[in-house]
Amino acid sequence: MAILVLSLIGVSYTANAAVYFQDEQQEASFNQYKGEVLDRDTKKPLVFATLSLENTNISTISNTEGEFALKVPKDVTDGNVVVSFLGYKTVRLPLAQLTDGNNKIFMEVSILELSEVNLSVPKDAKSLVRETLRKKGENYFDDPTLMTAFYRETIKKRRKNVSLSEAVVNIYKSPYNTDRRDAVQLYKARKSTDYSKLDTVALKLQGGPFNALFVDIMKYPEYIFTDESIENYDFDFVQSTRVNDRLLYIIEFKQKDWIREPLYQGKLYIDAENKILTSAIYTLNITDKDQAARLFVRKKPAQASVWPTEVAYRVDYREKDGKWYYGYSNVLLEFKINWDKRLFNSVYSMTCEMAVTDWEKNIEGTTPKFRDRMKTSIILNDEAIGFADPDFWGEYNIIEPEKSIESAIKKIQRQLRRSKNQGGTSAP
C-alpha cells in the first residue's frame, strides 16, 4: 500500500517555511502534555489510543510506541482528559494532574465473563473471521455510494511538524458484495512544507488517499486475508467487551512462526451477534529491515540507508440503518535514514488518515471519467501546490495535526455547503 519516495532537494527550497510551522508561536500559546498509554498488566504500549479534553474538540492519538503529545491552549486550565481504547476501560484524568512530560497512563482491559455472553461462542477464532468476511455482502453497504472524505498526510522529523497535505475527496464507493474497485476524485487540496527541516531530503508518500482507503479490510481483504494467506495466521480469542451496548469478540492474530515473509499482527473487533467487523488495529512485522525497506522505499538518495521501524494500521466502520460502511482509517509509518558520512541518523514519521464526512446513495451508479479520477500512484504532495483555493480553506488550517481528524468533520461539512451555495461544483 504505502510506498515511500525520497529524493534530494535543492538549497533554494530552504526558505519555503510555511506559516503553519512556526513552532515558537505555537509553543507560546499552548501547553504540551507528553507521555505514554500502556496496558496495565503487560506494560505494552497501546497504539492509536485516543486522548481528548472533555467537551472540547482538543484531542490526539498515541503513536506506535504508545506515546502521545496533547496540546492545550494556555487559557484552558481545568477539565478532564478522557483516554479511550477499544476493549479497555475508559480513563478520566483531571488535566491538572498531567505534567508537561513523562505521563504514564495505564489502562485496564474490559473483560466480560462468559456468563454475560448469551450467544453461542464460535468453535474457533479463524472460523469466525472467515464467516465475517463471507457476510460482507449482507452486513455492509450493498448499493453504490458517493462519499465525501477529509484526507490528511503529516510528516514529522522526530516531534517537529515538517509537512502537511490536506484534501477533500469524493469516493465513489462500489458495493461491498462486488469486486469492483472504488474510484476517487480530488475536490480540494493544499500543502505546507518546511523544507529547512528535511535534512536535504524530500519525503513523499505514493498513493495518497488510496493508502487509507485500502485499509478497508472488508472491501479489500486481498491486502491482508485472502483465502490462501489466511492460513498463514494463528487466530485466538482474547476477550469480549462491550462498545455502545454492543457485544464484541476481540480476536488476536499473528503470522505463524515458520512464515518468513513480513505479514501482519493485531486485533479484530467483531460484533458477536451479526458477525460484523467494527474495527481493526494491526501492525506489519518488519523484523527483517531489508525486506521491509524493499516493500516501502521506492526511491532514495544513493548515500542513504532507509528502513521502516514501525508500520501500523487502523480502520473503523460505522452503522446506518442496519448496514455498515467504511468510516475512518489511519496508516502510520516510522522510519530511519542513515547517511554514509554523518554521525547521527534522522528519524521521521509519516501519517496518513481519512475520515468520511458525509455520504449519499449513488442511485445512478455514476463514476467520474478516467481522466478525472485519482490514480493509485498519486503523490498528493505534488498535486496540492501551495494553499490552493483560500476561499475554501480559509486563512488558517481546518485542523491541526495534533488534533483528531474527526474533529474537522463539522468544519469540512460547513465549508462544503458554503462552497456549493457560492456556485462550486463537484462536491456531493
* Structure confidence at residue 393 (pLDDT): 66
Residue from 322, 387, 326, 395 nearest 164 by CA: 387
pTM, entire model: 0.80
Q: In what order do the strands lie in the sheet with 3-8?
A: 201-206, 3-8, 297-299
Instruction: Compute φ and ψ for 75, nearest 5 degrees.
Output: -80, -5
Please tell me the distance from the alpha carbon of residue 84 to that of residue 244, in angstroms, as a whole number.
13
* Structure confidence at residue 281 (pLDDT): 93
* Structure confidence at residue 62 (pLDDT): 82
- The tens place of each residue's pLDDT in the chain, 428 residues long, gives 677 676 554 333 333 333 344 444 455 577 888 899 999 988 888 887 888 888 776 777 787 778 888 888 888 888 899 998 887 888 999 998 888 778 999 998 876 654 455 555 667 899 999 999 999 989 999 999 999 998 988 888 877 777 788 888 999 999 999 989 999 998 888 877 665 665 666 677 888 899 999 999 999 999 999 989 999 999 999 877 777 677 888 899 999 999 988 999 999 999 988 899 999 999 999 888 888 888 888 887 778 888 888 899 999 998 888 899 998 999 998 888 888 777 778 888 888 888 888 888 888 888 889 888 988 888 887 777 644 666 676 544 444 555 566 666 667 777 777 776 665 544 44
Beta bridge partners of 349: 156, 334
Residue from 421, 314, 401, 291 nearest 70 by CA: 401
* Structure confidence at residue 23 (pLDDT): 45
Please tell me the distance from the alpha carbon of residue 79 to that of residue 49, in angstroms, as a whole number.
19
Cα dihedral value 37, 354, 57, 65, nearest 10:
10
How many Cα atoms occupy the beta-carbon half-sphere of 259 within 13 Å? 16
Q: Is the dihedral of CA 191, 195, 196, 202 positive or negative?
A: positive
Please tell me the distance from the alpha carbon of residue 161 to that of residue 150, in angstroms, as a whole number.
19
**177: exposed, middle or buried (Cβ count in 10 Å: 0-12, 13-18, 19+):** exposed
The amino acid present at 301, given as its one-letter code, is P
